[in-house]
Structure 1
Amino acid sequence: MAFIIKRRESIILGAAAAAMAMAGKANAQSEIPKADVPAPKLPIEKGATLRLIRPARFVEPDEVIFRANSAKFAKETGVEVKVDLVGWEDIRQQTAVSANTGAGPDIVLGWAEDPHIYADKVIELSDVAEYLGKKYGGWMFLGEKFGKKAKTNNWIGIPMGGTGGPLVYRASAVKEAGFDKVPTTLPDLLKLCQQLQKIKKPAGFALGNAVGDANGFANWMLWSHGGALVDEDGKVIINSKETVNALNFVKELYPTFIPGTMSWNDISNNRAYASNELFFTANGVSMYFALKNDPATKAIADDTEHALLTQGVASSAPMSATVLNAMVFKHTKFPNAAKAYLTFMMEAEQYDPWLTGCLGYWSHPLNAYDKSKVWTSDPKIAIYRSTMNNRFWSGYKGPITQAAGTVAAEYILVQMFASVASGQATPADAAKEAERRTRRYYR
């Protein structure tokens, strides 16, 4: 899905105008604190044009307002911008082709670890990141974690936001199953899912190759049992008693799931939940957003609540985020234009309408946006406000590196859990196989 934004072209269609008006109304009420700091000097190259790819939208205003902001940049700078939307499971393949051929998009809004996979093929963005951090109250934990190259202060990505994946459930179903709210312990979580199955209002969590949902579920199960992929120095420790405990737990949990979770992608649970087939899962705000804004499903939205992922033995809720992380390839002919574009898109005049219009779907990475009115617009989404301050990440407990990114991209942890849930491997064998596959990248 491509879209070219050119100077002097009228590109904002009725849907875009409506979404911008909606977001603009809320944005006018937001008081985003800003420090008075000079912007980086980025003289835009003569004749500059930009092409970028980014993941396809899950909520319509994400795309509509993003395109409108890009059009605004084009109008103000004269830089043509071509935006291509790519399927969530496909964007990494396209990024790899571009990185390996030295051709293609100037900017990629990819996934969390992606700039670290191609660290030697992207330009440094420290001037942009440091300016934004100083102006907007500093970067939140995951923003800095995914933006900086491991063990340096050099920024190679600009995290634009992150989709959180807390628990999403039908309050009436949980109550019918005998619980006032989602349990805070893993044994009680299992009991809840067993009861939901008995009353034919089952749970379900992705075990297919789903970028956000499946990686989120696998990491949650691992971290809540005290497991980790690697230690602080990057030594592989996935083959552990903690991992085996997590695998045994999922072996018990999986039979309570709705059929089909082995092949789920990132839209599957949204559809099942909206169809009254699924009553308990984990998801970004997109599910609630869609239910709330469709008269046919508003009753489901009214019955929907959110909760932090069950903590288990972890020190805090074992959650990370599906981070939208921007990078600029060295093959671009217009690095200053690319940097100027990313700076522009993160400024409050553009960013807060996008954040607000998406109902916080891409939760903010800069502290100042805590003040956005979106976070008080609906109490049911307040849980997403601190998404980018979660203290877990891909490749936890080690540094975010090319190895960490590749393990996530190849779904090693997801497939480890899926192999046990499906009965294809014992927990001990699955942990051993995950260790073997992981060691290929951690050397």
Structure 2
Amino acid sequence: MAVAAVLAAASLTACGDGADSGSDGKTLTYWASNQGPSLEADKTILQPELDKFKQQTGIEVKVEVVPWSDLLNRLLAAATSGKGPDVVNIGNTWSASLQATGAFLQFDDATLGQVGGKDRFVPAALAAAGAEGKPPTAVPIYSLSYALYYNKKMFAEAGIASPPTTWAELAEAGKKLTKPNQWGLAVEGSNPSENAHHAFTFSQQYGGAWFDKSGKATFDTPQNVAAVKRYVNFMAGDKIVNPGNAEYAQNQAVSDFANGKAAMLLWQAAGSSLKAQNMPADAYGVAPVPFLENAPAGGKKVNSMVAGINMAVFNFTKNKDGALKFVKFMTSDEEQVQLNKTYGSLPSVKPAAADPAFAAPEQKVLAEVLNTSAAPLPQVAQESQFETLVGGIIKELFADAASGKPITDEAIKTKLSNAQQQVK
């Protein structure tokens, strides 16, 4: 409800003293999202590129890497107060919600021309940059999808010949892989955004939706109840997830997988984080996320949301020209290859996407999912409320499962109904 109130306030006005940049046109402030194994690692990765930008333009970029757990609320607070950075990274699922605040620069055709033109961007990535029929208020920088990562040695020791393709197979494999000091699957039960992403995908497979075509919330449908229950039941019913994962919120699931504490992981472009934790690429396999084994009528062949990161510019920037130069730099062919290769994500501009650097097995799977079986989250202004509310409910349910409480359809429906009433 707090996020809803902030969003509502931001949609009324976004005024103030402006960005925290210098007025001389030689300084920008940039909030970067956490893409790598840690906030410190991201700053180490980004700083040489920012130094390169300064050499080319004379503009210094002061970067702060913001954890995902804080980023949305900080963006909304900046939109409301009119005070904050010049340029920001945003999760592409928030595009329409943040667009509705009116606090961000519109990338109309003329503005897109200043950063290289609309035709440079991968269409699917640009489609997740704002509400349909309106000029986007961001441009894509990193493209992602979910994949299933599995430990090859653990699979071989358990006699599992290939990665699961259905959730029933995953649960069965997870039980074989769960033993003292080892679990079948790692999740981040205390990460609302991660929870909401899986809730969306499972709902699609059950034939559900979180909003109708008019943008009205439809949280408490039988399909959504089943979707939430299936995900939480990996811990509550199948018991293939460590109850301690209910408290995980920031890359701990990746760490468990990298360090042999879990045999499977559902994640977006985990390769760079696994490498940082000394897990060699040949130690794990990457496969598409499983599907529902017996999909009901209306069930969709969707196994990921269209994931990715966008760049946006606040309207209150005192250095609009510099901010657009920075966006153009970060979406240039050279930077797109460099940064996405480092993070294991996919470029959002066409020329870079064709680079051989993205022909590795992990990137091939991510691209296959993104291009064939991923669907965008609803581009409606209330989407951020969905992530906060439904993601928070799943966090509560994982906590209940960890303490041994039964996870019932009735309990899930009651929570979803209450959340639905809070959507503004």
- TM-score (norm: length of structure 1): 0.77
Which protein is richer in strand relative to its size?
2
8 Å contact kept, 2:122–2:348: yes
Q: 1:328 to 1:380 in 2, by over 3 A?
A: closer
Counterpart-to-counterpart distance in 1, 2:362 and 2:95: 33
2:224 pairs with 1:224: no
Counterpart-to-counterpart distance in 2, 1:156 and 1:388: 22
The answer for the alignment partner of 2:415 in structure 1 is: 433
Q: 1:145 to 1:266 in 2, by over 3 A?
A: farther
8 Å contact kept, 2:303–2:369: no
8 Å contact kept, 1:193–1:202: yes
The answer for the alignment partner of 1:243 in structure 2 is: 224
2:129 pairs with 1:144: no
3-state SS, counterpart of residue 187 of structure 2: coil
2:250 pairs with 1:266: yes
Counterpart-to-counterpart distance in 1, 2:69 and 2:354: 33
The answer for the alignment partner of 1:80 in structure 2 is: 60
* Residue in structure 2 matching 1:356, options 332, 338, 341: 341
Counterpart-to-counterpart distance in 2, 1:158 and 1:94: 20
* Residue in structure 1 matching 2:361, options 360, 379, 385: 379
3-state SS, counterpart of residue 220 of structure 1: helix
Shift of 1:384: 2.2
How many residues end up aligned between the 2 structures? 384
Q: 1:334 to 1:297 in 2, by over 3 A?
A: closer
Superimposed CA distance per residue, residues 125-151 of structure 1 (whole angstroms, 9 cap, x where no aligned partner): 223446645452x4231x223213x23
Shift of 1:387: 5.8
- Superposed, which structure 2 residues align to 1:100-249 within 5 Å? 100-119=80-99, 120-126=102-108, 127-129=110-112, 132=116, 134-136=118-120, 138-141=121-124, 143-148=125-130, 150-197=131-178, 201-210=182-191, 213-249=194-230
Shift of 1:307: 1.1
Shift of 1:339: 1.6
8 Å contact kept, 2:28–2:60: yes
RMSD: 2.9
2:79 pairs with 1:96: no
Greater shift in the superposed pair: 183-192 or 205-214:
205-214
Q: 1:319 to 1:338 in 2, by over 3 A?
A: same
The answer for the alignment partner of 2:300 in structure 1 is: 315
Counterpart-to-counterpart distance in 2, 1:96 and 1:70: 25
Q: 1:251 to 1:108 in 2, by over 3 A?
A: closer
Amino acid at match of 1:379: P
8 Å contact kept, 1:110–1:324: yes
2:296 pairs with 1:276: no
Structure 2 stretches of 5 or more lacking a match? 1-22
Shift of 1:124: 0.5
2:332 pairs with 1:347: yes
- TM-score (norm: length of structure 2): 0.80
Shift of 1:371: 0.8
Identity %: 18
* Residue in structure 2 matching 1:391, options 365, 374, 397: 374
Counterpart-to-counterpart distance in 2, 1:373 and 1:162: 16
8 Å contact kept, 1:128–1:343: no
Superimposed CA distance per residue, residues 335-358 of structure 1 (whole angstroms, 9 cap, x where no aligned partner): 222122101210112222222233
Counterpart-to-counterpart distance in 2, 1:54 and 1:233: 33
The answer for the alignment partner of 2:313 in structure 1 is: 328
Counterpart-to-counterpart distance in 2, 1:233 and 1:70: 42
Counterpart-to-counterpart distance in 1, 2:228 and 2:71: 29
Superimposed CA distance per residue, residues 71-98 of structure 1 (whole angstroms, 9 cap, x where no aligned partner): 2222222223211112221222322221
Q: 1:432 to 1:145 in 2, by over 3 A?
A: farther
